[in-house]
Amino acid sequence: MEDQGRMMQALSAVTLAGHSAHTGAVGLPLPHIHDGADGDGRKQDIGSILHQIMTITDQSLDEAQAKKHGLNCHRMKPALFSVLCEIKEKTGLSIRGVQEEDPPDAQLMRLDNMLLAEGVAGPEKGGGAAVAAAAAAAAGSITDNSIEHSDYRAKLTQIRQIYHTELEKYEQACNEFTTHVMNLLREQSRTRPISPKEIERMVNIIHRKFSSIQMQLKQSTCEAVMILRSRFLDARRKRRNFSKQATEILNEYFYSHLSNPYPSEEAKEELAKKCSITVSQVSRNTLDVSNWFGNKRIRYKKNIGKFQEEANLYAAKTAVTATQAVAAAVHNSQDNSPSTPNTGSPGSFSLPHSGDMFISMQGLNGASYQGAQVGANMQSQVGAVYDKRSGNAFSILMCLWSLGGFFEYKMCIHFQIFLDNVLQTNFTSSNKKVCNVT
């Protein structure tokens, strides 16, 4: 009401001379303008127009449209409009203009910097997950580390995509809304005093609102990145189990090399390749062979009894494999028995297994093992193999072990474990040295 009073006061001083009479085309009861210098009449006239402007919103749409049109066409409209604009600018905008000068937001800058540093905003770091995965594949060795890395990158890319999509949406919405408001204000500016400066101010307000929404988005994105980082880069949080297949491969190697469960670098590489894991502690957060063997050795040593069943299981598996190999060898070389079995192709873990068993069983049984409780059928088989292979103890023992029933099998396993313990206790350091040499 104060503004209205001021406006009325200001308007009363406006000179409104030189306008011809206008008859409202839509029957608007426009006040009659008297010729001459009748001040009271003009005041009345202006007061009436203002009253119409003030009450226009109380009318029905049709009535308002009609009045609006009438007012737009009124001869005094341009003069009134410019005066109202001037008053508005002088009374309101000068104060608001000061408030528009926002200092650069430190928090926003921090968020922007972080998003840039993490590769979410700005150019994508490292070319994205697809490129990383392709590079790993091209290298021919998809280690767990690279999987983790690409996994991390994939998730980061996902965040990045969401961030950019949302940002784009916001910008689009902001532009659409701004255009809409500008059009509305321009349209309204034909009726009410809206200066271009005021439109600009409105646009700024809209932009600021959208900036605050964008800031929320940036904040959420930063949080997501932090969570992702902590999940992927904090080692202890990130423990994953080996696959069943990988555990089996490692266990097979471990139990078949109980006398020396220290795989060489080559063996580690082979195992790593087989299991699709890393060889050793290349970096944090990896599933690696060295860790596995370290844990296995210490836990096995601490509680042999607990691992016995597992040892039996893997030894049996190994025996079957070895027997198959022997059977194949016998079949393929009836008249030609190699003096040194188990010198299989390098990198193959099945034959070295047999080697360990050979040592164990020879030590336990020697010739006496032939008198074990084996069926007649099996005895004949063993005899045949023995004869053919000219007393090759390995072949005999392998056949016994795999075909000789549970009793023999158990005995062998127990001895194997016993012997391995002895060997481990006494020859660990020397084994290491040997390994170092090779």
Q: Which of 240, 334, 363, 407 binds DNA (CB under 7 A)?
A: 240
* 324 contacts 426 by C-beta, under 8 angstroms: no
Q: Which of 29, 122, 126, 294 binds DNA (CB under 7 A)?
A: 294
Label residue 66 left, alpha or beta by phi (over 0 means left) and psi (-120 to 50 means alpha).
alpha
For the CB of residue 436, give the shortest distance to DNA in the complex, in Å. Answer: 8
Q: Which residue number, 210 or 262, has a Cβ lying nearer to DNA?
A: 262
* 390 contacts 337 by C-beta, under 8 angstroms: yes
Q: Which of 227, 188, 147 is nearest to 64 (CA)?
A: 188
Q: Which residue number, 109 or 226, has a Cβ lying nearer to DNA?
A: 226
Q: Which of 284, 338, 347, 422 binds DNA (CB under 7 A)?
A: 284
Burial group, residue 379, by CB count within 10 angstroms (0-12, 13-18, 19+): middle
The reply to whether 295 sits near DNA by the rule CB under 7 A is yes
* Number of other residues whose CB lies within 10 A of the CB of residue 256: 27
For 430, list phi and psi in degrees, rounded to 5. -70, -40
For 309-314, the CB contacts below 8 A with 24+ separation are: 310/251, 310/255, 311/255, 311/258, 311/413, 311/416, 311/417, 312/409, 312/410, 312/413, 314/251, 314/252, 314/254, 314/255, 314/256
Total residues in contact with DNA, by rule CB under 7 A: 33
Question: Using CB under 7 A, which of the segments 173-181, 237-245, 374-382, 398-406 binds DNA?
Answer: 237-245
The reply to whether 202 sits near DNA by the rule CB under 7 A is no
Question: Using CB under 7 A, which of the segments 13-21, 39-47, 221-229, 290-298 binds DNA?
Answer: 290-298
The reply to whether 435 sits near DNA by the rule CB under 7 A is yes
Binding mask 127-166 for DNA (x = CB under 7 A): -----------------x----------------------
Q: Which of 209, 432, 433, 434 binds DNA (CB under 7 A)?
A: 432
Q: Which residue number, 144 or 356, has a Cβ lying nearer to DNA?
A: 144
Backbone Cα Rg of the chain: 46
For the CB of residue 142, give the shortest distance to DNA in the complex, in Å. Answer: 15
> What SS3 state is found at 18?
coil
The reply to whether 175 sits near DNA by the rule CB under 7 A is no
> What SS3 state is found at 288?
strand
The reply to whether 51 sits near DNA by the rule CB under 7 A is no
* Number of other residues whose CB lies within 10 A of the CB of residue 74: 19
- Write out the residues near DNA by the rule CB under 7 A: 144, 234-242, 247, 262, 280-281, 284-288, 290-295, 297-299, 301, 306, 428, 432, 435
